[in-house]
Amino acid sequence: MHEAKGPPRRADARRNRERLLAEAQATFAEHGTRASLEQIATRAGVGIGTLYRHFPTRQDLLEALLGARFDTLTATGRTLLATRPPGPALTEWTHSFVAATTTFRGLTAEVAQPLDDETTRLHASCAAMREVGTELLRRAQESGTVRTDVTPTEFFVLVAGVAWAHEQGLPDSPARVARLLDLLFDGLHR
Amino acid sequence: MHEAKGPPRRADARRNRERLLAEAQATFAEHGTRASLEQIATRAGVGIGTLYRHFPTRQDLLEALLGARFDTLTATGRTLLATRPPGPALTEWTHSFVAATTTFRGLTAEVAQPLDDETTRLHASCAAMREVGTELLRRAQESGTVRTDVTPTEFFVLVAGVAWAHEQGLPDSPARVARLLDLLFDGLHR
DNA sequence: ACCCAAACGGAGCCTACCTCCGTTTCCGGG
DNA sequence: CCCGGAAACGGAGGTAGGCTCCGTTTGGGT
């Protein structure tokens, strides 16, 4: 979906990039987004310098991993848009969103930033994801499943809030997310 | 509400403790909860060793500040309980909660932890606060304003999620929190 | 005025971040 | 095949902040 521009990289460079991404994924999952970059480099069997050449900042590394998630989320959204009625489509996509956003501690915060920050490298794949989400929301509103006065931004902010809340809680039960999202959709009143 | 146990401290120790708390408050407000502790010590005109003697960890320092907020929140809750009808009481208290929890970046995460962690030093004042919140929720439920199947934990988790979401967003408008809390109470459906 | 426990302060060690540059590796042309 | 140089590598070392340890200072009781 992105990358693969400019002159082709050398074979060893490509190989190292892949190893770094794989180890970063594992290490972040284990220690959260603030894990030691030196450790990631070591685990990938490369020097710290190599890590920094490929990913000048921690953000860049996170973004490479996040970009893939955004792309997946975009694809999932398109499928749902085509195959499910508006209401369930939105609900199911929201669950996917929280799941994708929650795989390691601290990720939510990283997601929240590019959501409305135009300058991020990530903005492209994030924007695509956001667009699909917006469309899902719009259709759910059209079909009368969701109140029409909710803006896409408000929707994303609230869902990200739930994702964050879930990320904090130690018992990582899938039932818990489902429950929280139900409460969000149905409201606390009545 | 807490502190003031064991032998009385020496005058200089008490004085330094106050200055540290004041500067910590200011510095955290300015740079978030990850501000440099050395800087706080310097600004308070004491050595770094003194800071660490008073507050062995960053958590301890944060907790000292947080404890005061919790106590305030508890008091506010008691007042609301006595002077307002159940529905508005809960709503207004929730607003106070978000406000108190949002005064500097990263605070929400610190609040979330002791919420269900028994081992924290903070647990006492947190528990009091939580109890008032629970009572406010219970009365709102009794009066028919809030659905009865919402547990206190779910309530706190969701409100903290909104607080976090609000903390992320750069435009720190009070209207935004109000809107998000309205959405949370009324739900996205319909 | 004297004493010593309490409190202070910062040098110094540790860990992690990140840069810089000498060394190694890939790979296309001869 | 091998050779040259561009591309990529790796880690030493400078920087910053966290935290500890211990020699020095000071409050306040007698």
- If interface means Cβ-Cβ distance under 8 Å, which residues of chain A face chain B? 109, 112-113, 116, 144-147, 150, 154-155, 157-158, 160-162, 164-166, 168-170, 179-180, 183-190
State mean pLDDT over B74-99.
96
CA distances from A129 to A77, A79, A84, A133, B103 (A): 8, 13, 18, 6, 31
Number of domains in chain A: 2
Residues B51 and B95 in one domain: no
**Which CATH number fits the domain that encloses residue B50?**
1.10.10.60
More confident residue, B58 or A174: B58
Using the 8-state DSSP alphabet, how is residue B190 labeled?
-
Flag whether pLDDT at B5 surpasses 80. no
**One-letter amino acid identity for A46?**
V
Query: What does the pLDDT look like over B114-146, one tens digit per residue?
Result: 656 666 667 778 889 999 999 999 999 999 999
Flag whether pLDDT at B49 surpasses 70. yes
The SS3 assignment for A190 reads: coil
User: Is residue A99 included in any domain, yes or no?
Assistant: yes
Range of the domain at B32: 7-56
User: Is residue B1 included in any domain, yes or no?
Assistant: no
Tokens matching residue A23: 């180890």
Cβ atoms of A38 and A13 closer than 8 Å: no
User: Is residue A74 included in any domain, yes or no?
Assistant: yes
What's residue A170's pLDDT? 59
User: Is residue B148 included in any domain, yes or no?
Assistant: yes
- The pTM score is 0.88
Cβ atoms of A77 and A132 closer than 8 Å: yes
Residues A114 and A65 in one domain: yes
Residues A21 and A77 in one domain: no
Residues A94 and A119 in one domain: yes
Residues A50 and A139 in one domain: no
Residues B107 and B141 in one domain: yes
CA distances from B151 to A78, A147, A156, B77, B112 (A): 35, 25, 24, 18, 16
Flag whether pLDDT at B2 surpasses 90. no
Compare CB distances from A179 to B154, B169, B184 and report the shortest one's residue: B154
State mean pLDDT over B37-52.
95
Residues B45 and B93 in one domain: no
Query: What does the pLDDT look like over A87-133, one tens digit per residue?
Result: 999 999 999 999 998 888 888 887 776 666 666 667 778 889 999 99
State mean pLDDT over A38-46.
95
Give the CA angle between residues A70, A74, A76 to the nearest 5°.
115
